[in-house]
Structure 1
Amino acid sequence: MLNPVWLKTFITLVDIGHFTQTAEKLNMTQPGVSQHVNKLEEACGYNLIKREKKSFSITEQGRLVYNHAKTLIRVENSLFEQLSYDDPFSGKCSLACSGSVALFLYPKLLKLQNQHSNIHINMKAAPNHEILTDIKNGIIDQGIVTDIPNESFFDFEELGKEELCLIVPQEVNVNNSWGQLLLDLGLIDHPDAEHYLSMYFRQSKKEDLTQLDVTSIRVIGFINQINQILEPLAHGIGFTILPKSAVDCFHSLERLKVLKPQQPVVETLYLVRKKNKVLPARYASFNSIIQKAWS
């Protein structure tokens, strides 16, 4: 990399056209100016000026170095301008969350992009552990998870709580044991199903569920597209478990039945970012929408 001090001296010399005046402008001695030019020529491997007694002319190689140095100055000035202005309505906002949260939240966030076309919203559906890994590695700026993250690595805030729903086909008779019913129906599995079921069985306080081992439930299908998980149930096949927001978005709610425990089962949602990370100004509006979604 060429020494920026030598480049500055060379640019000034070419612009002024005189060694003595260059030295005066840079508060240097004339031999000091000559030394900078000589060192720059040695670093480039070419003569940058042709000396003619008290004057000089720039060589072709000197012209290329001069133009290069000018470009570096313009780029640096542009960088400092960008650093000094953090546009609150321009740039990428990234967020990772579960598929059900994305289904609920994405339409609300798109309103921000409709209002400010230079805001670009990037959303990724992923499980908790992957979200935290991506935040820690700087792949995404923020995520929404359902477990309190390690405070050594992450800053977080509680967004709110969301009810989990155990769903079966509408025609199913639920007067008998829920545990046996689930075993008979079979699970329509999805990436978060095991996590949701474990939480539901612990919190529901229904004895036949608290004694049920999640791994003992047979899986009769798997879908990783959040908007299709309830389709088999609408056709009378199996059961599944999803947050209420995902259920409410389904197009044929009349073909589903949500089991109602005495005590609702809820999960807590946390907005997470890397420890001590300062987010750009555009996240103020972005996060305001997220926070209001559960208020």
Structure 2
Amino acid sequence: MINPLWLRSFRAVVQHGNYTRAAEQLDLTQAAISQHMARLESATGSLFVRQGRSLELTPRGQALLDYSQELDIATHRLQQRLSSSGPLSGPVSLAVPGSVGLKLYPALLAWQCHHPAIRIDMRFAPEPGILSALLAQEVELGIVTLPPSDSRLHRTLLGQEALCLVLPASSQASRWQDLVDLGWIGHPDGVAMASRWLARAFPGKQLADIPQRGFINQIGMILQPVARGLGFAILPQYAVQAFPDQQAIRLWPLPQPVSDNLWLLRRREWPLSRAAALAAEQLQQRLA
């Protein structure tokens, strides 16, 4: 393990750009700062490129800075988790698919009303963005439909959500050719969802054979063009149920529904804050 005093000096040097001001901030001598940097570079390799009086991080230096920041985050979260008997407070950050968010956000707000010291920070994102946010430690919790292979992520099965092919209420579509004639409305997860649904309903057929009539990345608006007869869309059940004009749409019936598993993800190596751990329990209860 790298000496935390060396890391403290290193971060001060990065912040100020030279040894002198770093030493002043930490109330150390410049010689002590130089010694700490020399020991770090002996362990890791060159950390800085000197440009006149300023310092620029090398790739190894940037990697060490990232490590130092991650260590601070992990320490903070450990302190929060160890103080499990303390007050329930602080932010709960999560990234979810839009349809799941439509169902969960009101429930989380109701929970927050009982614990006003908690802050719910929710972002709606397509699944690649959710994985990126978790790996970058931008959020503590995420929900996806496809379990990731990345060993840094811990997953828990929450439940299932049906996929629905949604037609305009006026459409008489009942065959593959009817879908081709109607066309489809795209959205960020549309290709993946449509491919899974069509593979069950029409084996051997390809989404690429259906013309795309539009694209929208706002979950609450995807069914607007469908309701106007401009195409069909394939969406999760929660998004369909949230659409306000149910009389303007209808569902394509399937003998056996196509469903996605919902997985709750978190970083495996970082302990959750107390608030996030209790929020995860709320999510499990809501989606079970």
Normalised to the residue count of structure 2, the TM-score between the two structures is 0.69
Counterpart of 1:244 (choices 237, 250, 260) is 237
Q: What's the secondary structure of 2:274's corresponding residue?
A: coil
1:85 to partner: Cα distance: 3.6
Residue of structure 2 equivalent to 1:286: 279
Alpha-carbon distance in 1 for matches of 2:243, 2:151: 39
- Residue 246 of structure 2 corresponds to residue 253 of structure 1: yes
Alpha-carbon distance in 1 for matches of 2:172, 2:272: 51
Residue of structure 2 equivalent to 1:181: 178
- Residue 223 of structure 2 corresponds to residue 234 of structure 1: no
- Residue 159 of structure 2 corresponds to residue 194 of structure 1: no
The answer to whether the Cα contact below 8 Å between 1:163 and 1:244 also exists between their aligned partners in 2 is: yes
Residue of structure 2 equivalent to 1:117: 116
Alpha-carbon distance in 2 for matches of 1:243, 1:278: 31
| Structure 2 CA distance for partners of 1:154 and 1:181, relative to 1, 3 Å | same
1:114 to partner: Cα distance: 1.2
Counterpart of 1:264 (choices 232, 257, 272) is 257
1:276 to partner: Cα distance: 2.9
Counterpart of 2:270 (choices 273, 277, 283) is 277
Tell me which stretches of 4 or more aligned residues in structure 1 moved more than 2 Å: 41-44, 82-88
The answer to whether the Cα contact below 8 Å between 2:184 and 2:214 also exists between their aligned partners in 1 is: yes
Alpha-carbon distance in 1 for matches of 2:147, 2:222: 27
Deviations along 1:14-64, one digit per CA (max 9) or x if unpaired, are xxxxxxxxxxxxxxxxxxxxxxxxxxx9949xxxxxxxxxxxxxxxxxxxx
Alpha-carbon distance in 1 for matches of 2:276, 2:137: 16
Aligned Cα RMSD in Å? 2.3
Q: What's the secondary structure of 1:282's corresponding residue?
A: helix
Alignment of 1:1-295 (within 5 A): 43=29, 85-86=83-84, 87-150=86-149, 152-175=151-174, 177=175, 179-202=176-199, 204=200, 206=201, 209-295=202-288
| Structure 2 CA distance for partners of 1:42 and 1:159, relative to 1, 3 Å | closer
Alpha-carbon distance in 1 for matches of 2:148, 2:250: 34
State the percentage of identical aligned residues.
Answer: 36
The answer to whether the Cα contact below 8 Å between 1:112 and 1:119 also exists between their aligned partners in 2 is: no
The answer to whether the Cα contact below 8 Å between 1:88 and 1:280 also exists between their aligned partners in 2 is: no
Alpha-carbon distance in 1 for matches of 2:178, 2:209: 13
1:97 to partner: Cα distance: 1.1
Q: Structure 1: which 5+ residue stretches go unaligned? A: 4-40, 45-78
| Structure 2 CA distance for partners of 1:42 and 1:198, relative to 1, 3 Å | closer
1:99 to partner: Cα distance: 1.0
Q: Supply the AA of the counterpart residue of 1:226.
A: I
Alpha-carbon distance in 2 for matches of 1:42, 1:138: 32
Alpha-carbon distance in 2 for matches of 1:283, 1:211: 43
| Structure 2 CA distance for partners of 1:43 and 1:276, relative to 1, 3 Å | closer
Q: Which has the larger radius of gyration?
A: 1
Q: What's the secondary structure of 1:210's corresponding residue?
A: coil
Q: Count residues in correspondence.
A: 215
| Structure 2 CA distance for partners of 1:278 and 1:254, relative to 1, 3 Å | same
Deviations along 1:118-166, one digit per CA (max 9) or x if unpaired, are 1111111112222112211211111001111125221110000110000
